[in-house]
Amino acid sequence: MGCGASSDCAADHSADSSGGGGGGPGRDIVGFLSDIRDDDIINGSIQGGMQYVSARVWTSYLRYTDGARHPWYTACPSQGCNKKVERDDSAGTYWCEKCRKNYDTCEYRYMLSFAVADSTGSRFVSAFNEEAALVLGMTAGELKAAADTDERAIHRAYAAAQFKHWEVRLRAKAETGQDDNTQVRAQVMRLAPVDYRKETRNLLSAIALY
């Protein structure tokens, strides 16, 4: 099952260190989306059952349909929790099942799904709060506040995020859904805009070796 709106995702997220192109999180070699070995992840031939890949990608598909689920959820405001909370409209409070506590307010956090592409192909990825805020250019709370007065604000944020160039760190992991179908899902663990000046210097240095 997917981790969804839970602190388990945040814990998994923070466990990734700066790192690599293939198996574990320890080496940072920029590769391609095609380096993700779906079959090997599913059949368990990759140690740990997950693969880390770094790549330079473009955001290739973000689309919001009116009436669809918003890209944020109501989260527990307690630091480090991040669990989804349920609003009690009669009391005007938010209940956190994990903390077993009512709160007067909640925090809005992202769960964003979108497609990325590079020269080898494309795939859907998920991004949580901090990374999704970079992609959309604002926090979940800011986007919700804008959408409360104008639903088209979400469309504009998605349109502005299209075709941006990122260096991403992905974690690919097999997950089994309620239909018992196992698929490899990729989560954004880290992303930053591609630094073209840095990449130019790296390219010139590589050329100078020949």
Look up residue 107 and give its DSSP letter.
Answer: E
**Which of 1-10, 12-21, 153-162 is predicted with the least confidence, judged by mean pLDDT?**
12-21
Distance of CA 162 to CAs 28, 141, 150, 206, Å? Answer: 26, 21, 20, 31
Percent with pLDDT over 70 in the chain = 87
Q: What is the pLDDT of residue 111?
A: 96
Q: Name which residue leads in pLDDT, 180 or 107.
A: 107
Q: What is the mean pLDDT of residues 19-31?
A: 57
pTM greater than 0.85: no
Burial of 56: CB neighbours in 10 Å, binned 0-12, 13-18, 19+: middle
Domains detected in the chain = 22-68+112-208 (2.40.50.140)
Q: What is the pLDDT of residue 12?
A: 47
Closest CA to 117 of 65, 58, 73: 58
